[in-house]
Amino acid sequence: MNEKFSVPVHTAIIMDGNGRWAKKRGLKRTEGHKKGVEIVRRIVKASADYGMKFLTLYAFSTENWRRSKEEVNFLFHLFVTAINEYIPELKENKIKINFIGDPSPLPDFVKRSIQHAFNETAGNDRMILNIALDYGGRREIVQAVNKILSLGKKAKITEETFKNFLYTAGQPDPDLIIRTGGEKRLSNFLLYQSAYSELFFTDTLWPDFTEKEYLEILKDYSKRERRFGKAT
pLDDT (tens digit per residue) in 31-81 = 999 999 999 999 999 999 999 999 999 999 999 999 999 999 999 999 999
Based on its alpha-carbon atoms, the radius of gyration of the chain, rounded to whole angstroms, reads 18
pLDDT digits (tens, 9 = 90+) for 89-144: 999 999 999 999 999 999 999 999 999 999 999 999 999 999 999 999 999 999 99
Domain ranges for the chain, please list them: 14-219
For residue 130, indicate whether it is catalytic.
Answer: no
pLDDT of 228 above 90 = no
In contact, 167 and 135? CB cutoff 8 Å: yes
- Dihedral through CA 143, CA 145, CA 147, CA 148, nearest 10? 170
- Mean pLDDT across 194-223: 97
Q: Is 64 tagged catalytic?
A: yes
Q: At what angle do helices 29-50 and 211-223 cross, to 10 degrees?
A: 50
Helix %, strand %, coil % for the chain, to 5? Answer: 45, 15, 40
pLDDT value of position 231: 65
As a whole number of angstroms, the distance between CA 192 and CA 140 comes to: 9
Instruction: Please tell me which residue in 2, 16, 98, 173 is annotated as part of the active site.
Output: 16
Catalytic residue among 49, 64, 164, 188: 64
C-beta separation of 55 from 7 below 8 A: no
Task: Give me the half-sphere count of Cα atoms (radius 13 Å) on the Cβ side of residue 42.
Answer: 15
Q: Report how far residue 98's alpha carbon sits from residue 230's, in angstroms, rounded to the nearest whole number.
A: 33
Please report, as a single letter, which amino acid is at residue 51. G
- Judged by phi (left if over 0) then psi (alpha if -120 to 50, else beta), residue 96 lies in beta
Among 18, 40, 39, 38, CA closest to 29: 18
Q: According to the model, what pLDDT value does residue 154 have?
A: 72
Q: Which residues lie below 8 Å from residue 225, measured CB to CB, with a gap of 6+?
A: 232
The angle at the Cα of 3, spanning 45 to 38, to the nearest 5 degrees, equals: 20
Give the model's pLDDT for residue 82.
96
CATH class of the domain defined by 14-219:
alpha beta
193 with 168: CB under 8 angstroms?
yes
Question: What are the Cα distances from residue 222, in Å, to 4, 217, 218?
Answer: 10, 9, 6
Distance CA 17, CA 102 (A): 24
User: Tens digits of per-residue pLDDT, 159-199?
Assistant: 999 999 999 999 999 999 999 999 999 999 999 999 999 99
Say what the pLDDT of residue 156 is.
85
Q: 3 pLDDT band (50/70/90 cuts)? A: low
For residues 144-171, give the mean pLDDT. 90
- Say how far apart CA 106 and CA 59 lie, in whole Å: 13
Query: pTM for the complete prediction?
Result: 0.94
